[in-house]
Amino acid sequence: MRKLAGSFSLWPTMLRTRLYLGLLPLLLLFIAVCVVAAFRYRDLSQSINKSVTDNYQALVSGYEMREAATLMAGSLATAQRGDIITARRAYAEQRARFQRYFTEQSLAAVDTPRAALLGKIDDAFGQFNETARVPLDQDEAISVASLREVDASLVPVLKTVEALTQSDYAEVQAAAERSDRLVRRSMNFLFGAMVAGILLSLYLSSGLVRIFNTMASKRQSLP
Given a cut of 90, is residue 122 above it in pLDDT?
Answer: yes
Enter the pTM of the model.
0.62
The answer to whether the beta carbons of residues 189 and 100 sit under 8 Å apart is no
At residue 3 the predicted structure's pLDDT band, cuts being 50, 70 and 90, is very low
Q: Are 76 and 137 in contact (CB under 8 A)?
A: no
| Contact status, residue 29 vs residue 114, Cβ threshold 8 Å | no
Asked which of 7-16, 19-28, 110-119, 154-163 is least confident by mean pLDDT, the reply is 7-16
- What's the CA gap between 125 and 69, in Å, rounded? 8
In tens, the pLDDT along 16-29 reads 566 656 666 666 76
Confidence check: pLDDT of 10 > 60: no
Burial class (CB in 10 A: 0-12, 13-18, 19+), 73: buried
What pLDDT shows up at residue 5?
44
In the predicted model, what is the mean pLDDT of residues 126-145? 83
Euclidean distance between CA atoms 24 and 120, whole angstroms:
62
What pLDDT is recorded for position 6?
43
| Residues 165-202 pLDDT 10s | 888 888 777 777 777 777 677 777 777 766 776 676 66
Cα–Cα distances (Å) from 199 to 21, 32, 33, 35, 207, in that order, read: 17, 16, 15, 21, 12
Q: What CA–CA distance (Å, rounded) separates 51 from 184?
A: 19
